[in-house]
Amino acid sequence: MPGAPNKPPEIEAPPAPTVPPAGNKMQHALRRLAPDRLVLRLPIWRGAPNVDLVKPLERAATMLAAGEFPDAEKALDQFSVRLAEPRWPTIPEPWVRIRVPIPAPQPPHWDPDFKLAPADREAKRNREWAQTQLLLAKGALDLAPSLPLDLTDVQSCVAEAQAIFEREGATAEFWAPLDRLWDAVQSRVPLPTPAVVRAAPPAKLPPGIEPEEA
């Protein structure tokens, strides 16, 4: 009615998210942490990646061992964002997919998935995540001989997961063989020792000027 104060429309509260059981949280984090361990073993780091990359993974491993899954995921997110910084060497496929660049702000409708229903958007995200995991798993088998890392006992896991994915999609049965592979990587690939950061040499003073005493 005229003169009545504007009242925003009532918005129905979204349903509370389903909390996955602890085992799912653990496996989801391992599906990220295990490939992250391998990306720091690539030859581009010359055996000693920067401490800024190693520290988030150390924190993620510590939080995961303590059962602090949200903090472990935050540390893994920090690693993925930091890996996208332009100061690092070029990261090859498929490991470059671990990077998460921070996008520039943009209107929501610019997102190509904006018009999808929430369920369809979630299904697409899960399918793309499963495809990325398959590529990373294949990359792990290709990288293993150069480390050296023995994955012969879990080598068939990738082909098994690929067959299930093509037949059924990203079901629980699909994840089972990949989880066996990542569990093996997690237990056999230690985090690397970061590169030693050397302090800058003291500046040379002009002749006749003595350095100030502390």
Relative orientation angle of helices 118-143 and 172-188, to the nearest 10 degrees: 40
Q: How far is Cα 168 from Cα 108, in angstroms, rounded to an integer?
A: 32
Judge whether 109 lies within some domain. Answer: no
CA distances from 208 to 121, 203, 205, 211, 213 (A): 70, 14, 8, 10, 15
Judge whether 197 lies within some domain. Answer: no
Q: Where in the sequence is the domain holding 134, given as residue range(s)?
A: 22-101+118-188
Judge whether 201 lies within some domain. Answer: no
Give the whole-number percent of the chain exceeding pLDDT 70: 77
Convert the pLDDT of each residue in 103-150 to its tens digit: 777 777 677 776 767 776 787 888 999 999 999 999 999 999 999 999
Judge whether 52 lies within some domain. Answer: yes
- Comparing 167 with 6, which gets the higher pLDDT? 167
pLDDT band at 7 (very low <50, low <70, confident <90, very high): very low
Judge whether 10 lies within some domain. Answer: no
- For 52-56, which contacts have Cβ atoms below 8 Å and span 24 or more sequence positions? 52/82, 53/79, 53/82, 53/83, 53/88, 53/194, 54/191, 54/192, 54/193, 54/194, 55/194, 56/82
Q: How far is Cα 37 from Cα 192, in angstroms, rounded to an integer?
A: 8
Q: How far is Cα 211 from Cα 214, in angstroms, rounded to an integer?
A: 9
Q: Report, as an integer, the average pLDDT of 35-44.
A: 97
**Rounded-to-10 torsion of CA 20, 22, 23, 29:** 80
Instruction: Give me the number of domains the chain comprises.
Output: 1
User: What is the value of pTM for the model shown?
Assistant: 0.79
pLDDT score at 141: 98
